[in-house]
Amino acid sequence: MVSSSLVPHTHYGPVTALKFIPNTEFLIAGYGPFIKIFNYKTGDSIPLSKTHEDVKIFEKNKIHGIVISKPHSSSEPTNVNVLFYGGRSVSVLNFQTDILHGSSNNRLSVHETACNDWVISGDFHYADPKSIYLLTAHNIVIDASIVGDNLGGLQVNGSYNCNEKSILYSGSFTVLNDEVYVFSGTVMSGIYVWKLGRATTSGEVLHHLTGHEGSIFGIKSNDDATLAVSCSDDRSIKIWDLKTGNNIATGWGHGARIWYLEFFNLSTQVMSCSEDLTIRIWDFDIENGELECKKVIEGHSGKNVWAGAVNQQQLIGASGGNDGKIRLIDLDTTGDDTHELSVEYLTSLNYGKSVNFAKNETIKTVISGSPEGSNNDDLLIITSYCKIFHVSQNYSQVKLLNFSHELLQQKTITETMHFVNNFFAVSHIENDEWSIMVLTASSGYQLFVTLDGSLNVKDVTEFSILDLVDSPFSKITGVFPISKTPNFTYFLFESPNPNDPFIFIKYDVIKLQYLTESLTLLEKPKTRFTLTAYDYDETYGYLILGSRFVTMTVYDLHSKTTTNVLSPLQTWKKFLPGDTISQIKVVKALTESLLVWISLRDGTYLTLEISRNLNSGDQEDVIIQGFENLSLTNQTSNLKIDICQQNRVSKGGFLEGCIETKSSFQVGDRYIDDSTNILLYGFKSDYFYLYNETKGYEVWTELCGGSHRMWKLVYPKKQITDDLNQFRFYYVKASMLVIKNMVILPAHKFAKDLLVEGTHGREIRDIAISTTAKSVNNDNSVIYKLLATGSEDNTIKISKLLLNTNDHACQIKNYWTQRLHVSGLQSLKFLNDQYLISSAAREEFFIWKINDGTLGDDSKLYVHCYDTLVPSVAGNPDLRIMDFDYLPIYDNNNNNNTVERSLQGFFLCLVYSNSFIKVFYYDLVNKKFHLMVDDYYKDICILTIKFVVHSQKIHMVIGATDGFLTVYDVPVPAGLQMQNGNDGAALVGEYHHSDGAAAAKLGRPVITQQIHQNGIKTMCVSNRSESIDIVTGGDDNALGLFTLTFDNNGTITSGTIKAFSEDAASSTITSISPVSTSQFLVTSVDQVVRIWNTVDGLHLVDAKYVTIADTGSSDTTTFEDVAGNKIAVGAIGGVGLSVWKINND
């Protein structure tokens, strides 16, 4: 009998504790029972053994607190003892000898000792790093010390109590020499501040602080125990004067419970972390008794930020979330790199010469010096009356520019002439050494002002664009430069008159002149079209323009013939629900198509593949309306669009655009260089945000008042790495120009603002791993399969499960977080490597298409929702699609070559919480669901369903909340043959569904058998050629083995419970995944993962503790390394993700 053993490999889960080691660059993070060590300055994680970056401190319990002793000497700041506590577990380890250098076996939990009660807090004795105090949940302080070295365990010296043994939710110590203050946050009765007796075992209650409502979730004092800060279920933060016991300030702001509080900056500021996913910085004004929220950082996703830490010397904060992310925060709020320039300020600094301003003259726009290379911070500021100021670096010198050009000269003489009416647009063409400022007037007049690297005027030329246009042209109200190469810039001019064409022309920035032969007049689409976004691709000559109502038009500039008039090649109107297209960006020209990024202001973003329709007859301006006809390849369309990627931002507000940045990551000993980060930016209510969409966190925000004002985001044009410090945000507010240099990574503090990327911040409800392994690099040194996780947070994460074939290191790297579901995920399955199916409440059933390196020469991963099943019942938010299964149908054109067979569609069976059972034929090519069977089971919820295929027959097995397993026959439609491949059963042949066919009923079940007392939570089917085994897992802690036997025709002859283990787990069994045809990985809520063997009954092979809570889902897969060794891997999901190796002995 082959027996497998489980070896834990990687743990992704909530951050439960954080601590900086003073006077060092180390940050310790508690991940459940594990710790990771980071150098916060470099952002690197310190390997703690050959194979692992983490080390296990406790066998099972989570680390809830980390305390650092004073160093033995100030010259050795790492020679400190570290106290870990969590649950009933306690451990004291030396950081240098035990953790940094002693953890090669990846297991320090041998040092773990047990307390008889839950430990709320701990601290070291003021003089002895071998003595500790522990505060228990019954408000008792235990005084203990290390016996011999750390391995000797902890000896109890005594205990203290203050005669108030309420249950505590929180607590802390402040040790001031030989005075030990205890702060106890109770469940029901406020806060007790007490002091340990020196001679007695009792403690003296100093204060009973009762100003909060509800349970106290945090209480901590400042260093000298003069002030305390606390929080409770009432969501307020209170500051207490510990001399008087008075509540001297209260701060409100958090929208949920607060889990972490700490004073910093000489007790003048407080950092807090909350369930509402924010970290807040509070200013405490002791004079006026005010606690004011100064800064809000939305650093995490899902729910809850459990842990926080403050580096008091460096003023760095760290936060750790339920999502596993660790964020670093610059707590120095004074050094914010902000500059505000007013019109008055400009005047005052103009070398003493006064400048007259009109009454309503305001700052209109700004041109910054090249942000690349030259470090030039000079600015040009243009007012609404077209005065141009040169502002030097540091904003200390201001000079009014005076061109010697008559157009400007004339107008500056009389203040009454409104320049703004003439020169309405200022464009900026940048180069490494120089730039051109282009002022455009509605009359078509343009001034090209050449500037040197310090923005000094070198040359001014003038041109009227309308001189080139023969036909009458009303006026120019929009001018849009498109720079593709250093030597040329395209200009696009827009008029408000729908009969006026767009003017498109190329400008030679070296010769400072328009290339008149390039002038093209672009007829507007035959639909209302106000330009809101644009880009031009030189490879195909496609000029893509976007407008309101998700309308987009494409001109083929390469098709220009003798005339210079061109009509649109194609226009799509309302091709998605939504409003304005806010950004169009050419991503890449592929061999036969163009990849284009589109941002919609209402929050949708997509990547489109635009390609020529080879069947078309090149008609003029085809207008395609509506979403359904988007990818039609009929003869009437010139172009076709395929959506490769579609998603929505996590927050509401306005999406303005996206920027790509690059970074790399490591799998074992190999670096992977393909990690692209998508940064999205836009406005939400009254602030501007920059959000890392790939890693899922808010990078930067600015309370600018909203999107209606002039704003500009300036960033380097070259490929950007994760270093975002060169970003700059300008906006005008209250006639003031605000310049924000984004100091995301303060140079002397830290190099990365996100130390760990993490995973879902809520429970993972299902996991699916794709079948085919692919190589990241050409030498197969790192291979991967796609891993999809569906969570309670309504999102699906599409990741790669990467395996280093050399050292077998395993890692999960997330690529996309899809947000189409609006309810918690129920079930998730890969159909093959290209299609993923998901189901949830509200009858949500989505088919996702994944393009993984399949788009020409573009190797990126794209995901979009290919199709959705329309809900059968309107408006029932509770109607859940509990589970589904599928059978692929391939056409038989390549019958002899099964590899080449192409997917035609699939049969789907779905079960619902209202007991409905439905079978659909899904036509993949025509995107159509055909209902084949419409029936119901009983009045109860069905939990799970599987197709079972044997010989030439199809059956369906369902498990419901009544504990019954029910088997139905499903007739095989004519023309289809069953085939069993490596990736399971499939149907091969031609299948045509007749549209008029009515949905059938299932008829009487073949078998009805009660197996469990209540809900069959999960099932796994194993085809053993003669018979089929169904392993069932129940809410009743039991595991069942049910065997179906068949005759030669595939007709079921019997169904028998072969084995039943009634105490297979101590709690609900939640998932069963196959390891082989007779071995199964089983998870249950008791946090134990087990391997069961089904040969001659149910036999437990291995059982191991899983470090993630609410263990609810799993999937298994097998990789093969270069030498042909099989590596079986299991992924287990709950509050986090746990990766296991399954060794076959």
Partner 1 sequence: MGKSSKDKRDLYYRKAKEEGWRARSAFKLLQLNEQFQLFKGVRRVVDLCAAPGSWSQVLSREIYEKNVDGESEPKIVAVDLQPMSPIKGVTTLQADITHPKTLSKILDIFGGEPADFICSDGAPDVTGLHDLDEYIQAQLILSALQLTTCLLKPGGTFVAKIFRGRDIDLMYAQLGYLFENVICAKPRASRGTSLEAFIVCRNYTPIPGWTPQLKLNQSTEEFFEDASIARKNKLGDKLENYLPTEERHIAPFVACGDLSSYDSDATYSLDHSVARVSLDPVQSPTAPPYKKAIEMKRKGQLKQKAYK
Indicate whether 191 belongs to the interface with partner 1 (CB under 8 A).
no
- Count Cβ neighbours within 10 Å for each residue of 825-840 and write b for 16 or more, e otherwise: bbbbbbbebbbbbbbb
Question: Using alpha carbons only, what angle is made at residue 428 by residues 426 and 432, rounded to the nearest 5 degrees?
Answer: 165
Measured from the CB atom, is 421 or 1067 closer to partner 1? 1067
Structural contact between residues 514 and 465, judged by C-beta atoms closer than 8 angstroms: yes
Separation of alpha carbons 246 and 941, rounded Å: 56
Indicate whether 273 belongs to the interface with partner 1 (CB under 8 A).
no
Separation of alpha carbons 107 and 725, rounded Å: 39
- Count Cβ neighbours within 10 Å for each residue of 256-291 and write b for 16 or more, e otherwise: ebbbbbbbbbebebbbbbbbbbbbbbbbbeeeeeeb
Position among 241, 1086, 1120, 1121 found at the interface with partner 1 (CB under 8 A) = 1086
Indicate whether 484 belongs to the interface with partner 1 (CB under 8 A).
no
The footprint of partner 1 on residues 373-392 (CB under 8 A) is none
Indicate whether 113 belongs to the interface with partner 1 (CB under 8 A).
yes
The footprint of partner 1 on residues 192-251 (CB under 8 A) is 212-215, 232-236
Measured from the CB atom, is 174 or 278 closer to partner 1? 278
Instruction: Name the DSSP letter for residue 315.
Output: T
Measured from the CB atom, is 913 or 979 closer to partner 1? 913
Minimum CB separation of residue 1068 from partner 1 in Å reads 6
Going by C-alpha positions, the residue among 455, 345, 461 that lies closest to residue 401 is: 455
Q: Write out the two tokens for 314.
A: 């460096």
Minimum CB separation of residue 841 from partner 1 in Å reads 9
Measured from the CB atom, is 272 or 547 closer to partner 1? 272
Tokens 């799998």, residue?
A: 667
Measured from the CB atom, is 729 or 1046 closer to partner 1? 729
Indicate whether 1013 belongs to the interface with partner 1 (CB under 8 A).
yes
Indicate whether 1110 belongs to the interface with partner 1 (CB under 8 A).
yes
Position among 22, 72, 79, 114 found at the interface with partner 1 (CB under 8 A) = 114
Separation of alpha carbons 911 and 924, rounded Å: 21
Position among 7, 127, 176, 188 found at the interface with partner 1 (CB under 8 A) = 188
Q: Any residues with CB less than 8 A from the CB of 759 and at least 6 apart, and which?
A: 12, 13, 323, 324, 789, 797, 812, 814, 1136, 1137
Measured from the CB atom, is 884 or 906 closer to partner 1? 884
Separation of alpha carbons 133 and 144, rounded Å: 6
Q: Any residues with CB less than 8 A from the CB of 352 and at least 6 apart, and which?
A: none
Q: Which stretch binds partner 1 (CB under 8 A): 66-74, 509-517, 777-785, 1081-1089?
A: 1081-1089
Position among 38, 40, 85, 118 found at the interface with partner 1 (CB under 8 A) = 118
Indicate whether 768 belongs to the interface with partner 1 (CB under 8 A).
no
Helix (H) or strand (E) holding 637: none
Measured from the CB atom, is 142 or 457 closer to partner 1? 142
The footprint of partner 1 on residues 501-540 (CB under 8 A) is none
Indicate whether 115 belongs to the interface with partner 1 (CB under 8 A).
yes
Separation of alpha carbons 225 and 177, rounded Å: 12
Strand stretches in 414-530, DSSP E: 423-430, 435-441, 445-451, 457-464, 478-483, 488-494, 502-508, 513-522
Indicate whether 274 belongs to the interface with partner 1 (CB under 8 A).
no
Measured from the CB atom, is 494 or 702 closer to partner 1? 702
Separation of alpha carbons 811 and 664, rounded Å: 13
Indicate whether 733 belongs to the interface with partner 1 (CB under 8 A).
yes
Measured from the CB atom, is 702 or 1115 closer to partner 1? 702
The footprint of partner 1 on residues 912-971 (CB under 8 A) is 912-915, 939-941, 943, 961-963
List 988's β-bridge partners, or say none.
890, 977
Instruction: Draw the binding track, 1040-1079, toward partner 1 (x: CB under 8 A; -: no contact).
Output: ----------------------xx-xxxx-----------
Q: Which stretch binds partner 1 (CB under 8 A): 42-50, 652-660, 906-914, 1049-1057?
A: 906-914
Going by C-alpha positions, the residue among 824, 827, 957, 929 that lies closest to residue 878 is: 824
Strand 570-573 with 622-625, pairing: parallel
The footprint of partner 1 on residues 1120-1139 (CB under 8 A) is 1135
Calculate the alpha carbon distances from 12 to 805, 872, 1141 in Å.
Answer: 21, 38, 15
Position among 864, 1017, 1090, 1141 found at the interface with partner 1 (CB under 8 A) = 1017
Structural contact between residues 800 and 852, judged by C-beta atoms closer than 8 angstroms: no
Q: Write out the two tokens for 964.
A: 């019954």
Measured from the CB atom, is 738 or 933 closer to partner 1? 738
In one-letter notation, the amino acid at residue 146 is: I
Structural contact between residues 525 and 623, judged by C-beta atoms closer than 8 angstroms: yes
The footprint of partner 1 on residues 777-796 (CB under 8 A) is none
Measured from the CB atom, is 57 or 788 closer to partner 1? 57
Instruction: Draw the binding track, 131-170, toward partner 1 (x: CB under 8 A; -: no contact).
Output: -----xxx-x-x-x--x-----xxxx--x-x-xxx-x---
Measured from the CB atom, is 140 or 861 closer to partner 1? 140
Measured from the CB atom, is 16 or 489 closer to partner 1? 16
Calculate the alpha carbon distances from 626 to 85, 552, 812, 849 in Å.
Answer: 59, 12, 38, 21
Indicate whether 738 belongs to the interface with partner 1 (CB under 8 A).
yes
Measured from the CB atom, is 232 or 692 closer to partner 1? 232
Separation of alpha carbons 1035 and 944, rounded Å: 13
The footprint of partner 1 on residues 290-329 (CB under 8 A) is 292-293, 296, 303-304, 306, 322
In one-letter notation, the amino acid at residue 469 is: V
Cα 586 from chain centre: 24
Position among 25, 844, 852, 1036 found at the interface with partner 1 (CB under 8 A) = 1036
The footprint of partner 1 on residues 866-895 (CB under 8 A) is 873, 876-880
Minimum CB separation of residue 115 from partner 1 in Å reads 6
3 state DSSP class of 152: helix
Minimum CB separation of residue 329 from partner 1 in Å reads 16
Indicate whether 112 belongs to the interface with partner 1 (CB under 8 A).
yes
Q: Left if phi > 0, otherwise alpha if psi is -120 to 50, otherwise beta: which for 681?
A: beta
Indicate whether 652 belongs to the interface with partner 1 (CB under 8 A).
no
Measured from the CB atom, is 149 or 618 closer to partner 1? 149
Minimum CB separation of residue 79 from partner 1 in Å reads 24
Measured from the CB atom, is 59 or 415 closer to partner 1? 59
Minimum CB separation of residue 119 from partner 1 in Å reads 10
- Residue 1094 half-sphere exposure toward CB, CA atoms < 13 A: 31
Instruction: Tell me how many residues contact partner 1 (CB under 8 A).
Output: 105
Indicate whether 828 belongs to the interface with partner 1 (CB under 8 A).
no
